[in-house]
Structure 1
């Protein structure tokens, strides 16, 4: 994590962010979705759909951060990180699908609709603390997908938490964001229940991960 400190008065939430990022990785790797990706029972379409949910989540968060940027200090690096990660994931999905036309057929799953509503509420309330909690969890998840890696998406240092009350809010929203994140996997598993991996598909989760590194 790295960022220029915006104010000496912020509370250091880096330990919370680091702990949460570790939890995100551990929980994802123990999830039914991850098991199906690992054992090959999740078809390519399912793996791609899961990554597309994260791509959409990044776009939603980027839009919210850009809205708050004009009236909130300390958001520039998070904005830049979200933009770079969104572009990187979109390009990786373009390559894995061998076309960018997947964007025209992208399906927003129920948990993503709920996530969109929550981000809208946060944005309308000018609640940058809660918004950054969701950003941290989403970036941690992208860094953990779709195979274990120590070179995941970086999370900028968060310097918008100023009071103990905001610190408590930040911690609560981190937990809420993690619960919402797991719902993406549940949606995908339900949508592709019982489907076997397509033998004709040469694109694997590891290949998508390598594309994300590029």
Structure 2
């Protein structure tokens, strides 16, 4: 896999692998620069959760119970996203419900229909990406970030088993090849950092990617 992954947790005792396996509930971040695979990783997670199968088909990332997934991605249209889902063999039924820009403007997280669906399905909700659900274009806006935090808490209160938020890394993190940290993998993390359960930084390993893209694989 041509990806590097770093994990960040709030301060506290380290958890064992079994603890992580049980900790589905909560809200979690996937942070990466554009083009570094965060949507692809999120789709792999959605497939594992909706089908109850191990993530990446690796037994150490087994899924003990399947949950429906609501995937909100207002950054793309229906046709290309559907193609991605077909490649991933994500179920085309009520186990996976997606909304793209084709269905209209970004759905507000306070939308009554969304909250009712969450109440009925008790799903995992995936937001791709956080900035599309933030009314301010400034990811460092404390007021708007606090509103997003409040909206995510409301989703959890309505019955969402888990909320997974995709978020952009800072430009410097990729341009300067900085070591992955919470601060550079999640831009504007001041309000988010105190609330999340787990966060992962994702970066494409360009050496592996370029080597694997050649026919001989060298």
TM range (shorter): under 0.3
Structure with a larger share of its residues in helix: 1
Structure with a larger share of its residues in strand: 2
Q: TM-score, normalising length from structure 2?
A: 0.25
The structure, 1 or 2, with the larger RCO (C-alpha pairs under 8 Å, 6+ apart) is: 1
Q: TM-score, normalising length from structure 1?
A: 0.26
